[in-house]
Structure 1
Amino acid sequence: MNFLFNEEQTSLGETVGQVLADHAALTGPDPSRGSDAEVWAALAELGLFSLLVAEEHGGVGLGLVDLAPTIEALGAGLAPPLIASTLVATEAVNRLGDAEQRAQLLPGIAAGETAIAIASAELGRGNDPVFAECGLHDGRLTGRKIAVAGADVAQMLLVVTRTQSAPVLALVPTDAPGVTIEPHADIDPSAGLCRVTFDNVAVASAQLLGEGSPGALDTLIDLGATAQSGMAMGIAEVMLKRSVAYACEREQFGKPIGSFQAIKHRCADLAVAVEAGKATSHYAFWACSEDAEDRASAASAAKAYCGEIACNACNDAIQIHGGMGFTWELGLHRFLRRAQVIEHAVGSRAWHYERVVAETLAAREVA
């Protein structure tokens, strides 16, 4: 059995990486959002947003696992998080939406005209993706969400909210009456994190995604966690390559610093961690694509483990570069900033590790 990605899947990821590389500001020292619109337009022209959309709605009809190298490229290129959020939301609509919702939303997504930001985190419990005080009662949505990436430029919000009986997912236009969006300060300004307030916003039953499905929220969490793991590994791989390249060219005492045991071992440990993390992430992509029985534990394991690897890789890269690694001009801080955002998106590392334990124990009881 061949577990490697095929030529088309790999080529797609490389192409997206080349498009992102043409926008040097994404990984430059200044963490501004000046090129976000141009990046979105370039990827839309490439057809990125049509890949997960079925042919009947103007798309290509690929599966989630086909996009694993592409999502890693988004992480490596520090693409705006709204891009990955839209891809996750697209797959959520594919799985949870009814025929009318798919017909209404997917053509606009495929054309790159509809960006969807995912609103799940809340103040005080931002690390728990299941928690929601934001409530939907009698067709009215009230509450506040934080850390909503790209909400200020998106056309639609996918909101995790709660009725009196259960959590639900609601699709809310960003220009709906009662919706207020305010960018808020965070460690990575380029992520475009926003605070979204819902003040008695009207939500029709047709705007509920996966209504009546008890696993709708779990599906969104699994898809989001898997995508975040892929982006984390994209960052980790960039840090590995830049660390090894610098260790080979930087000399001390007449020798490349990579020949010294301390640096050599650190690079080797980082290489092993990157390979292990990518294997974990790729399995999560497969599990989500095939809707495997262990989808939840695979997605959570990948999110927690890969997020940890990405942060450690950034710290290692900065230290391998020595004093230069801490300078603003080198730009390594950009990757560390984004890795920190990824680590806390769609649930914290601790929450996902606890979920893995819970899923594992539940599986043993069934067996």
Structure 2
Amino acid sequence: MNFAFNEEQKSLGETVDRLLEDHAALRAPDLSAEANGPAWDALAELGLFAMMVPEDQGGAGLTAVDLALSVEAMGSALGPIAALDALAVTDLLVRHGTPAQQADLLPRIATGELRVAVAVTEQGCDEAPEGVGTTVTGNRLSGTKVLVREAAAAHLFAVVAQSGTGAAIYLVPADAAGVTVRAHEDIDPTCALGEVTFDNVELGAEALVGAANPARAVTRLFDGGAALSACLQVGIAARMLATAVEYARTRVQFGQAIGAFQAIKHRCADMAVAVEAARSATYYGVWAFAEDAPDRARAVSMAKAYAGEVAKHVCNETIQVHGGMGFTWELGLHRYLRRAKVIEHAFGSTLWHNERIVVETLRMDEACSGDKLAAA
């Protein structure tokens, strides 16, 4: 059995990496979101948003595994974070969308013409998607979502709200009557996070996604976002590790490169081990998500939680390796730490995912014990 990525998957990841490296403004110390537009257009022209769209809808029919290295490259280059929403919603529509939703939305998402933003998080609510307070009553949607990525640029919102039978996903046009967007003041303005308020918004006939099993559709969207977020976090960690190692090789102190000192060697070695461990957890989590494996929930949460911790740790260590200049605005290392912290709270925080890991582990152990008793 081959657990490595194939040449096509590697080539796609390298292509995305080279493309985004040409957009240096994405990584500039400036905290403006203006660079996201040209980068989005370049990714759309490359065909990235069409990769997970079925072939009969104008796409390539690939899976999240095929795009894992590409999303990692987006993390490394600080690419437009809204691209993650586009990929997660594409997977959702492929799995749970109606034929009408797929025919209308997927071709436009594939070209980058239609920008979709996922709206899950609410202020003061539990992070579990099934615990949201936004409600649908009489085909009307009301509630407020926060931390919506590039909300002002979105044409369509995928909103998690309470229906009569539990949480469900509703597709709401950004220009619908009753929808208002307000920009957030946040740690990473390049993500253009926004607060979106839905005031008695009338839902269309094709608004509900996954009518046959709304709860399963919600979990699919949440897991997809978490798995892809882990890829972004690994990309950030790997980029910061490479930056720290390169600086340790070239910075001379007391007549030799600082990488020759044990204190720096050990830091870099520990970071390298952590990044590889995060990669392993993330790749397995993405595979479990793509294949809908029995341990999908636990694998995805392990990936998201651990990759998030590693990304923050490596960012902090890289700043320390650079010494006093690591804290300067012009060097730009703060950009990666800012992005890592924003991603940490997207699709469930580290604490929430760790709690989910415990719950899923106990559930699997209980199921395994039951099977052994039945066999006896």
What TM-score do the two structures reach when normalised by structure 2? Answer: 0.96
Give the equivalent residue in structure 1 for 2:348: 347
Counterpart position of 1:304:
305
Show the 5 A alignment for 1:99-248.
99-125=99-125, 127-213=127-213, 214-248=215-249
Deviation at 1:216, TM superposition (A): 1.5
Asked if 2 retains the 8 angstrom alpha-carbon contact of 1:141 and 1:203, the reply is: yes
Aligned position for 1:293: 294
Q: Distance in 1 between matches of 2:94 and 2:48?
A: 16
Structure 2 residue 358 is the aligned partner of structure 1 residue 362: no
Which residue is equivalent to 1:29? 29
Q: Which residue of 1 aligns with 2:372?
A: none
Number of the residue aligned with 2:269 = 268
Corresponding residue for residue 253 of structure 2: 252
2:16 aligns to what? 16
Cα deviation 1:183-231 (Å, max 9, x = unaligned) = 1110000011000000000113421111231312111111111000000
Report the Cα offset of residue 81 of structure 1.
Answer: 1.0
Instruction: Output the CA distance in 1 between the equivalents of 2:125 and 2:354.
Output: 17
The 10-residue stretch of structure 1 (322-331 or 128-137) with the greater mean CA deviation from structure 2:
128-137
Aligned sequence identity (%): 51
Aligned with 2:212: secondary structure?
coil
Deviation at 1:293, TM superposition (A): 0.4
What is the letter of the counterpart of residue 300 of structure 2? A
Matched, 1:65 2:101: no
How far does residue 127 in structure 1 lie from its aligned partner after superposition? 3.9
Once residues 278 and 3 of structure 2 are traced to their aligned partners in structure 1, the CA distance between those partners, rounded to angstroms, is 15
Q: Are 2:134 and 2:144, in contact at CA under 8 Å, matched by a contact in 1?
A: yes
Shift of 1:248: 0.5
Asked if the contact 2:129/2:167 (under 8 Å) is kept, the reply is: no
Distance in 1 (alpha carbons) for counterparts of 2:17 and 2:115? 20
User: Which letter maps to 2:117?
Assistant: A
**Residue type of the partner of 1:97?**
G
Looking at structure 2, the residues matched to 126 and 17 of structure 1 have their Cα atoms a distance apart, in angstroms, of 36
CA shift, 1:289, in A, is 1.0
> How far did residue 151 of structure 1 move?
1.3
Is 1:323 the counterpart of 2:321 in the alignment?
A: no
Tell me the SS of whatever aligns to 1:152.
helix
CA RMSD of aligned residues (A): 1.0
How many angstroms apart in 2 are the aligned matches of 1:302 and 1:96? 24
Q: Secondary structure at the match of 2:2?
A: coil
Aligned amino acid, residue 42 of structure 1: A
**Mapped partners of 1:196, 1:352: distance in 2:** 25
Residue in 1 that maps onto 2:2: 2
What's the secondary structure of 1:345's corresponding residue? Answer: coil
Pairwise CA distance, 1:2: 1.5
Query: TM-score under structure 1 normalisation?
Result: 0.98
User: C-alpha distance in 1, partners of 2:297/2:127?
Assistant: 17
1:60 shift after superposition? 0.8
The answer as to whether partners of 2:130 and 2:166 remain within 8 angstroms in 1 is: no
Once the two structures are TM-superposed, the CA of residue 163 in structure 1 deviates from its matched residue by 1.4
AA aligned opposite 1:131: G
Give yes or no for contact 1:158–1:170 (8 Å, CA) kept in 2: yes
Structure 1 runs of 4+ with >4 Å offset: none
Q: Are 2:125 and 2:133, in contact at CA under 8 Å, matched by a contact in 1?
A: no
State the one-letter code of the partner of 2:162.
R
Q: How much has 1:100 moved relative to structure 2?
A: 1.4
Task: Judge conservation of contact 1:126–1:146 (CA < 8 Å) in 2.
Answer: no
What do the CA deviations read for 1:81-100 (whole angstroms, capped 9, x no partner)?
A: 11111111111111111211
Kindly state the Cα deviation for residue 306 of structure 1 after the two structures are TM-superposed: 0.3
Residue 151 of structure 2 aligns to a residue whose secondary structure is coil
- Range with greater deviation from structure 2 (119-128 or 20-29): 119-128
- Mapped to 1, the partners of 2:309 and 2:23 lie a distance apart of 27
SS in 2 for 1:144: strand
Letter in 2 for 1:291: D
- Alpha-carbon distance in structure 1 between the residues aligned to 2:274 and 2:84: 24
* Letter aligned with residue 261 of structure 1: Q
Q: How much has 1:36 moved relative to structure 2?
A: 1.4
SS of residue in 1 equivalent to 2:4 = coil
> Contact 2:236–2:311 at 8 Å: present in 1 too?
yes
Deviation at 1:126, TM superposition (A): 6.6
- How far apart are 1:154 and its partner, in Å? 1.1
CA contact (8 A) 1:68 1:282 kept: yes
Hey, what's the Cα distance between the residues in 2 that align with 1:204 and 1:29?
Answer: 42
Give the partner amino acid of 2:212.
G
Describe the SS at the equivalent of 1:323: helix
